[in-house]
Structure 1
Amino acid sequence: MAWDEWERLKADAAARGSTGMRLNHVPTDPGGSGTGDLKSDRKAWTQAGADTKGLQDDIAKALGKLDDGQSGLGDASGVQSAAAQKELYASWKKYVGDVKGRCGELGGLLERSGHDLAMSDAEVKAELDRISAKYHDTEAVGGDPKGR
């Protein structure tokens, strides 16, 4: 590129003037500071994480009660209802255990987000997606309720 062509391009750019900075294609408020109403409170994020992780204690108590209620079943062989109840118990124990694990992981993510607020939206979304994939819920029993 010739020197005079470079000078012409710089002059053209200077003549157009500044367009101002726009984040994520959202124009700034005319006459305003452009900061909008976005606020983030570290304490709120951290407290939400601690509260979510705190749910694990109550869930652990519920799992203990579930175990206690199951203890009198004994041998389920030969009794269909007892075998079905034992299968249901195992299913619920796994599900409630997964809920407990999900609370712990989600609470930890919220706490980490609150402590440093340094995670990007993409990083938080990736963590949430990882948690969702790990604790994928089962489909609802009884068919699709939308048609009812």
Structure 2
Amino acid sequence: MAWDEWEQLKAEAAEGRSLSMRLNQLPADQGGGTPPGGASEDLKTDKRAWVKAGEGVSGLKGDVAKALSTLDGGQAGLGDTAGCQSAAAQKELYDSWKKYLNDVSGRCEALGGLLQSSGHDLSKPDQTLLGELNGLTAKYADTAPVGGQSGGR
């Protein structure tokens, strides 16, 4: 903004008139721009970054497997839960966490693969990629909580 324009704005403000502002910007698109979901010539991406992110997310599957193994080891000596409410509750909690961790593992694998494929094939339209991500969300909906429920006991 030029100095004289600044002075004009200050004078208008002092007189109580409404202030107008002009932004330095590109003119509005006249119809020849990028279609929705299309690629922009200004968009820059690095395929290696997508692949590396996908590998990192897929690699979380190993950490989840370790946690699941530890959970299995801690459950090993439980035995029959009939007649013992705390043992039955522990078994119910174990089963829910085992399912949850298996789902997390699957989600890591699926999302990691999706990120890696995006890195290899960046020509997918945004809507296609969004549809694949929404599919993951639907497939791996979180399990219902069981902790603190009476379970009819």
Q: How does 1:116-131 map to 2 (within 5 A)?
A: 116-131=121-136
Partner of 1:78: 83
- Partners of 2:51 and 2:115 within 8 A in 1: yes
Q: CA deviation at 1:119?
A: 1.3
Q: CA deviation at 1:118?
A: 1.9
Identity score, percent? 56
2:28 counterpart of 1:23: no
Gaps of 5+ in 1: 1-18, 26-33, 143-148
What is the aligned residue count? 115
Contact 2:107/2:136 (CA < 8 Å) preserved in 1? yes
Q: Following superposition of structure 1 onto structure 2, how do residues 129-140 of structure 1 map, counting pairs within 5 Å?
A: 129-138=134-143
1:129 aligned partner, one-letter code: N
2:112 match: 107
> Aligned equivalents of 2:137 and 2:64: distance in 1?
19
RMSD: 2.1
Could you list the structure 1 runs, at least 4 aligned residues long, displaced by more than 2 angstroms after superposition. 138-142
For residue 138 of structure 1, report the CA deviation from its aligned partner.
3.9
**One-letter amino acid of the structure 1 residue matched with residue 110 of structure 2:** E
Q: Which amino acid aligns with 2:139?
A: K
Taking structure 2 as the reference length, the TM-score comes to 0.69
Q: Distance in 2 between matches of 1:141 and 1:87?
A: 8
CA deviation digits over 1:94-134, x for unaligned, max 9?
Answer: 00110000000000000000012121111111110111000
TM-score normalised by structure 1 residue count = 0.71
If each structure's helix is expressed as a fraction of its own residues, which one has the higher value? Answer: 1
1:11 is aligned to none
Change (3 A) 1:139 1:72: closer
Shift of 1:35: 4.5
Deviation at 1:72, TM superposition (A): 1.1
What is the SS of the residue equivalent to 1:46? Answer: helix
**Corresponding residue number in structure 2 for 1:57:** 62
Amino acid at match of 2:72: D
Rounded Cα–Cα distance in structure 1 between residues aligned with 2:132 and 2:66 = 27
1:45 maps to amino acid: W
List aligned pairs for 1:31-46, cutoff 5 A.
Answer: 35-36=41-42, 38-46=43-51
